[in-house]
Amino acid sequence: MKYSDRFLYSLSGVAVLFSALSCSGKKEKSAKPYNIVYIMTDDHTAQMMSCYDTRYINTPHLDRIAADGVRFTNSFVANSLSGPSRACMITGKHSHANGFTDNTTCVFDSSQQTMPKLLRKAGYQTALVGKWHLESLPSGFDYWEILPGQGDYYNPDFIRMNNDTVQRRGYVTNLITDIGINWLENERDETKPFAIFLHHKAVHRDWLPEIKNLSLYEDKIFPLPDNFFDDYNGRLAAAAQEMSIAEDMDIIYDLKMLAVGKESRLKSVYEQFIGRMTPEERKAWDHFYDPIIQDFYSRKLSGKELAEWKFQRYMRDYMKVVKSLDDNVGRILDYLDKKGLLENTLIVYTSDQGFYMGEHGWFDKRFMYEESMRTPLIMRLPKDFDKKGDISQLVQNIDYAPTFLDLVRVPVPEDMQGISLLPLLKGENPKNWRKSLYYHFYEYPAEHAVKRHYGVRTDKYKLIHFYNDIDAWELYDLEKDPTEMHNVFDDPEYGKVVDFMNRELVRLQKQYNDTFALSLNKFVME
């Protein structure tokens, strides 16, 4: 179902419409068409935003968006992996429908319909800055400048529209913001509305902090998640993963413990990363890390002590990268405010997926489990919208494209699988809103060894089927077991729930035409 008006308005028509509404005695609307500022980060989890979770970090500028707008409390992705998530967002379709299922084998088909193309066709100026990660070059944008692949934190390369590559001096989070503000200030056509997409590398592995933030949070001791030493009983796929902080987090690449005579699997990659620093940056970097390195190797930690030490360093580095990100969100908000653009601009902040901060003993994402599938989503709304506070309905990243189109009164194509969030932003409570979400992860075998799986999530339950070189079903009671520690699929007491969830899974597979997954589902029912 689409919650779109299904009418195409020219930009002049938008102004006429708003004027007519005012003259008719209805609530006055702005005569200006809406702008869109979409800020997406990489691997930034809701646990590390103080508007969602106050245990760890303070993010005052992100909190400004939530305080002045709305916070989605049940926001999820359709495939918890960078490239696929971005493809879902830009097309409004699940991975099997847009063709970009994983990071290792896929190239995004840039000829297909995308939301930026439709915005541009409707008269919008479109710009993309930062991480693209879809292997092909962007299309549908009036301006773009992207990072190659994952990009670098220090003095990164950028690919420009003429397909040349230039190195920019500075820290990547600052640079992406600089380029975005420069486009807004100096390069766009101010007679046209705009949609700018700021795609940050932060907070992606391996969490290289900005030099000025190196010493932050060093006095913080973080409590271990209750399930940090999870034994994965009854969860075969969880036991087989390779994303354990204790076992798989690289002591040099991830934790910066570079020293003469010390080796690790990813040491050479880390050396390439820090090799991009200027001599001044590297001097400051070594000055900070050298005492930590010496102390670490002198202690000869092992077992649980080593795992806990790795967790603390991971948390600190991650938070430092978030600090630069939050500062730059503040720069964007301040710029829009200074230029008088806030009143008619939708500001969206989200991540390409969630991330594990030690839950289940993990880092990374990929799984359909909560910390990975759940993603932060906050929006500051134009002045015409009265809605503020929390929105609790189930939403997904395939919904962003239809929402942006619906906002500017561009018809939502029938083949988009997402639902416009505009009714929710208007404070409405649609009775026929979706009751479940579909998920499908494909990248295996690959880094972190997370098995392929698909599943369905409702407000109370989650059903997952792991397949390929495994055939395992899992069911979780999210009310009784929010940390997903107890697989109750084979529990006779949940027989009716299993039946209901299987039916819902089949319904979604048919609705979204995921015929491959449907063929693997032994519970297919007519």
pLDDT digits (tens, 9 = 90+) for 311-324: 999 999 999 999 99
> pLDDT tens digits for 453-471?
999 999 999 999 999 999 9
> Which pLDDT belongs to residue 16?
35
**Residue 522 — very low, low, confident or very high, per pLDDT cuts 50/70/90?**
confident
Does 520 score more than 50 pLDDT? yes
Give the pLDDT band of residue 18 (cuts 50, 70, 90): very low
Q: Is the pTM of this model over 0.75?
A: yes
Mean pLDDT of 186-209: 97
- Residue 523 is predicted with a pLDDT of 75
Q: What is the pLDDT of residue 32?
A: 86
What local confidence, expressed as pLDDT, does residue 525 receive?
60
Rounded to 5°, the CA angle 513-517-519 comes to 95
Q: What mean pLDDT comes out for the span 376-404?
A: 97
Q: Do 397 and 88 form a contact (C-beta atoms < 8 A)? A: yes
**What are 62-106's pLDDT values in tens digits?**
999 999 999 999 999 999 999 999 999 999 999 999 999 999 999
Task: Give yes or no for residue 124 having a pLDDT over 70.
Answer: yes
Mean pLDDT of the chain: 94
Q: What is the pLDDT of residue 279?
A: 98
DSSP category for residue 448? T
Distance CA 405, CA 118 (A): 8
Give the separation between CA 486 and CA 242, rounded to whole angstroms: 20
Kindly report, residue by residue over 208-267, the tens digit of the pLDDT: 999 999 999 999 999 999 999 999 999 999 999 999 999 999 999 999 999 999 999 999
CB 442 within 8 A of CB 468: no
* CATH architecture observed for domain 438-520: 2-Layer Sandwich (3.30)
3-state class percentages of the chain: helix first, strand second, coil last, to nearest 5: 35, 15, 50
Residue 26: per-residue pLDDT? 42
Taking residues 408-421, what's their average pLDDT? 97
Top-tier CATH class for 11-206+316-424: alpha beta
Location of each CATH 3.40.720.10 domain in the chain: 11-206+316-424
- Where do we find the tokens 């964007």? 332
For the segment 331-381, what is each residue's pLDDT rounded down to a tens digit?
Answer: 999 999 999 999 999 999 999 999 999 999 999 999 999 999 999 999 999
Residue 19 has pLDDT above 50, yes or no: no
365 within 8 A of 354, measured Cβ to Cβ: yes
